[in-house]
Amino acid sequence: MTLTPRELSEIDDANASGRQPVVFVHGLWLLASSWDPWRRLFDAAGFATVAPGWPDDPAGLAEGRAHPEVFAGKSVGAVTDHYAEAIGRLHRKPAIVGHSFGGLITQRLAGRGLAVCSVPIDPGPFRGVLPLPFSSLKAAWPVIGNPANRRRSVMLTFEQFRFGFANAVSEREARALYDTFPVPGSGIPLFQAAFANLNPRSETKVITKGPDRGPMKLLSGEQDNIVPWAIANASYRKQSRNTDITEIQEVPGRGHSLVFDSGWEDVATLAADFVRRHTSGPEV
């Protein structure tokens, strides 16, 4: 068992509540706490929220920045299995909402039939998604530019964070976000994504035609540099082969920080409305 006492407590609370559970999956360079405002919105609407971390994630920002080594070595497969373990302890099949690499993992979990519905937001590319825009390569280069980073963790500089995450907000807000959210990120997932189409055994594989995938809505920030529309739309085209409902929506004027910057509530409302429509949960 890899689940922490915090994660087990959240799962127990969700089960005891009898409410429709919603599981949140964060991406690289973030912690589960980045979902706290979303959780308050969903909890207030009558859902039961659970936000596991990646395996061995530290409790907070200060600890994470002081000990970057704890983030190293976390692969897409290991993180997916960690969330699958958490979901397996829930009494009801959850809705799953994920951002960035968390959006890729959300699709992997949905493909396994573990989601009643799902919302991947600016999702990392999976095997078979071919577009590689220049901005994506530039955003990933601080990691994949050095092969030794595969087994390391890498902390973004402010300039790198500004380009990759916070390009659609003011300089002042970007600096405040940088002081509040990013931690070092595991190098392996970026290498796995970069070389997925050359590796038939890639852990970034997604089952897009699974009969139990459930309804899915992809959200894409119009100004996202890490996961531009070309990647999100290519993911959507593959997911749309599924017999379940598949939607995609571009969110105007938003970058990769859309889930935790000052406009987060607009995006959360889009996700919550989709979850409400495709679960037995309450109106939002």
What's the pLDDT at 1?
A: 61
Give 178's contacts (C-beta < 8 A, 6+ positions apart).
Answer: 158, 161, 162, 166
CB 178 within 8 A of CB 166: yes
Question: Hey, CA dihedral for 140, 190, 194, 239, is it positive or negative?
Answer: negative
What's the pLDDT at 131?
A: 87
β partners of residue 48: 21
Can you tell me which residue has the tokens 């890498």?
A: 154
* Domains observed in the chain: 5-277 (3.40.50.1820)
Rounded Cα–Cα distance for residues 140 and 165 (Å)? 11
What's the pLDDT at 2?
A: 85
Tokens of 123: 């999702």
CB 185 within 8 A of CB 107: no
Rounded Cα–Cα distance for residues 38 and 53 (Å)? 15
pLDDT tens-digit series, residues 119-145: 999 999 999 998 889 999 999 999 999
β partners of residue 119: 97
- Residue 73 to residues 6, 134, 135, 191, Cα–Cα distance (Å): 22, 26, 25, 11
Rounded Cα–Cα distance for residues 47 and 41 (Å)? 9
Rounded Cα–Cα distance for residues 150 and 143 (Å)? 8
Tokens of 35: 């979902």
Tell me the pLDDT of the chain (284 aa) as tens digits.
689 999 999 999 999 999 999 999 999 999 999 999 999 999 999 999 999 999 999 989 999 999 999 999 999 999 999 999 999 999 999 999 999 999 999 999 999 999 999 999 999 999 999 888 999 999 999 999 999 999 999 999 999 999 999 999 999 999 999 999 999 999 999 999 999 999 988 999 999 999 999 999 999 999 999 999 999 999 999 999 999 999 999 999 999 999 999 999 999 999 999 999 999 755 43
pLDDT tens-digit series, residues 218-253: 999 999 999 999 999 999 999 999 999 999 999 999
